[in-house]
Structure 1
Amino acid sequence: MEAFEYGLDYIPSWSSAWPSCLLCGIMIRSAQHSGPLKSYQKAIGRQLKRASEQDQILVPAKNVEEHYLVNYPWLGGCTFRATLCVIRLGTNYSFMIVTSDRNGCFHLRGICIADWSCSELVDFAVVPKDSSKARIGPRSVGIPVLPGPPRHDPAFSRFRLRGIRDARPEQQPSPGTGYLIHAHCWILLGREACEPMQTKLEWLDLNKLVQTARLMRAADKDSWTFRAERSPANPLVIPVFGLLLHSQNERRAKSSAVQSIQETNPKHPMNGVPMDIALLIAEDICRPDCNSWEATNLRNLLSVFEWALPESFWRRRVNENVFFELKELRKSNTPVNWQLLRLELMQLHGYPLNYRSGLRVRIQVLETLKELMPAYSKDKVEESSPSSNP
């Protein structure tokens, strides 16, 4: 008997039931308007040459994970996944659901778009059983709103939502319960966890990950519980980063003779200033944790004096773990004015509350994962160490 066969006899209170991501703590909001949902479904349908947007369709989860709608960048966070042991997620605002089987283990289920209201939290139960599938569009007539798909339907699973606000980490999760994780949180987790551990996302121990996250959430409830976010932007796809590169290419195309901020002019009167003095001036103007105004002042200074500051100065101010696009850009060997690009990123970073950039959500998720992964990695190392051998 699988977890979804236990039924939906658990309806938590509103305060704990409104879903929050297990990793970042941000509440997962619903795509409550039919227009964006239909547009999203129609775009996927056209891409896959599928039928009418009036019917629900099952498509490969990868197509949903990689699809990005410019007009609705927030809609991906309204898709979710259910799991019963190994995790994988969609992108943008998509999220997955972690569910446990009768033995308390966690396993993967497919992706759905959330279209519920506060009074319809059991709608979370409708998830494709196949982890490689995604349900796009409204449910068909054959699938009732409550309490979910028929039990005999082989394509879907259902589960009981477990609110992490009232979760007790010392207790084993009951069979058939589930936790939610944003899809973008899972992808960022893959960057944070898989690179240093030299592993794959599918190989992460989901049971250990859930337990570690529950312990961390229980120890720091005041800082994350019931954190309402109104449609923040996609933390994985930041369009403004592409605009910065595009503006650089346009400037380069207009006039190759125009001197860039990174180049030095041997005839400039300030070119004779020793680099250590220039660094003292630049560091006084722009601290490592600078705001947008300080970054703008530094940009004006370098534009006038035409200094090219060393790499060590920029590493302290532009975190490439946050701006991971820089690593990919460096591998592509694309001609870039690195000093100017970093200045513009520092100005962008100075507005962490900017919803449109998606950067605020990325920083918040990475900070959470920075706290989560050391404990997870430590437990994994202790479990795999040959301490029991003579």
Structure 2
Amino acid sequence: MARIGGPRYAGYDDTHFTQFYAASITRQPRHYEGSVVGYIVHAHCWALFSQIEGLKLNKTALAQVVQTCRKFWHRNELWGAYGDILDSKIGSGEPYFNEEYGCDFFQSPLVVGAVQEAIIRAKEENLRFSSTKAIVPLCRFSGLPLEIAILIAELVCPVQYTPNDVNDMKEMLLVFRWKLPDWFWRKRWSKHLFIELGAKGGTAPVDWLLWLNLLGLVSDPDWFRYSGLPNRERVVGIVLALENIYVQ
């Protein structure tokens, strides 16, 4: 057991918490022998393990997880990034964008407010669209075969898309009312980027209005850079890399 949150120097209560020494990812000093040693993991990062494929964590395999982490970090040194410069930012409220790793380490990889807002907005838009489409006559292109509709959609919104492409796509679908398959949308970003769309990286069907709202966020470089999603990509990438080592 370990405390998550709370004052750093809060009083120790042995009826609720287990006292332990914070472990290093490298081998432990000899003077820790026989002591209770715990590994510190950011709570939001830990929660991501259950949101994507990740490591199959269980009590009997924790020793193997530790060995996996040691192998990975031995080849991918990142701990130096959390030095005096980052320590001085903690609690300051200032953003810290690390150019080498392309993200702000202090932004939550689990909760991205703008994504939550996009989901709510898509639900509201879908209700408005559903209430009006019954009284709007169908366009002559609404009945095109799906294969042709997909070819046109690929031209309007290619895999490498811009904000204008997203806007054009939305206007076209509002008029033509094509129902494009989920694979069309999933080709346009990493399948693990939007964990909000369902367990295991989003396997449930998603409304096209939501897809477009999320595409609009990703296509805006000024928003995306400081949104928290780059940090999620980094953390998820590490989890998947750990899994590759773990299953070997």
Q: Say yes or no: TM over 0.5.
A: yes
Unaligned runs of 5+ in 2: 87-94, 97-103
Using a 3 Å threshold, how does the CA distance of structure 1 residues 185 and 255 change in structure 2: closer, same or farther? closer
- 1:186 is matched with 46
2:220 is the alignment partner of 1:359: no
C-alpha separation in 2, matches of 1:155 and 1:215? 29
C-alpha separation in 2, matches of 1:360 and 1:327? 19
Residue 374 of structure 1 deviates from its aligned partner by: 0.7
**Structure 1 residue aligned with 2:9, among 122, 134, 139?**
139
One-letter code aligned to 1:271: S
Using a 3 Å threshold, how does the CA distance of structure 1 residues 286 and 271 change in structure 2: closer, same or farther? same
- 1:372 is matched with 242
One-letter code aligned to 1:188: L
Residue 214 of structure 1 deviates from its aligned partner by: 2.0
Q: Is the contact between residue 212 and residue 376 of structure 1 (CA under 8 Å) also seen in structure 2?
A: no
Q: Is the contact between residue 318 and residue 345 of structure 1 (CA under 8 Å) also seen in structure 2?
A: no
C-alpha separation in 2, matches of 1:234 and 1:362? 8
The 5-angstrom pairing of residues 187-336 of structure 1 reads 187-190=47-50, 191-194=52-55, 197=56, 200=58, 203-204=61-62, 205-218=64-77, 226=81, 230=96, 232-251=106-125, 256-259=130-133, 267-327=138-198
Residue 373 of structure 1 deviates from its aligned partner by: 1.6
SS where residue 247 of structure 2 aligns?
A: helix
- 2:90 is matched with none
Using a 3 Å threshold, how does the CA distance of structure 1 residues 216 and 348 change in structure 2: closer, same or farther? farther
Using a 3 Å threshold, how does the CA distance of structure 1 residues 241 and 158 change in structure 2: closer, same or farther? same
Encode CA deviations 1:260-319: one digit per residue, 9 max, x unaligned.
xxx9x7731222433323222221232335344433332233234332222331232254
C-alpha separation in 2, matches of 1:173 and 1:291? 49
Residue 366 of structure 1 deviates from its aligned partner by: 1.2
Residue 183 of structure 1 deviates from its aligned partner by: 2.5
Q: Is the contact between residue 45 and residue 110 of structure 2 (CA under 8 Å) also seen in structure 1?
A: no
Tell me the TM-score normalised to structure 1 length: 0.44
**Structure 2 residue aligned with 1:347, among 210, 216, 219?**
216
Which stretch shifts more, 337-346 or 303-312?
A: 303-312
Q: Which of the pair has the greater relative contact order for Cα pairs under 8 Å at 6+ separation?
A: 2
- Equivalenced residue count is 213
C-alpha separation in 2, matches of 1:215 and 1:322? 26
Using a 3 Å threshold, how does the CA distance of structure 1 residues 343 and 252 change in structure 2: closer, same or farther? closer
Residue 355 of structure 1 deviates from its aligned partner by: 5.9
Residue 137 of structure 1 deviates from its aligned partner by: 2.2
Larger relative strand fraction: 1
C-alpha separation in 2, matches of 1:156 and 1:209? 25
SS where residue 141 of structure 2 aligns?
A: helix
2:29 is the alignment partner of 1:174: yes
Calculate the aligned-residue CA RMSD, in Å: 3.9
Residue 217 of structure 1 deviates from its aligned partner by: 0.9
The structure that has the greater radius of gyration is 1
SS where residue 257 of structure 1 aligns?
A: helix
C-alpha separation in 2, matches of 1:188 and 1:351? 24
Unaligned runs of 5+ in 1: 1-130, 144-148, 379-390
SS where residue 207 of structure 1 aligns?
A: helix
Residue 340 of structure 1 deviates from its aligned partner by: 0.8
One-letter code aligned to 1:341: L
Q: Is the contact between residue 248 and residue 337 of structure 1 (CA under 8 Å) also seen in structure 2?
A: no
SS where residue 76 of structure 2 aligns?
A: helix
C-alpha separation in 1, matches of 2:81 and 2:150? 44
Q: Percent identity over the alignment?
A: 25
Using a 3 Å threshold, how does the CA distance of structure 1 residues 155 and 302 change in structure 2: closer, same or farther? closer
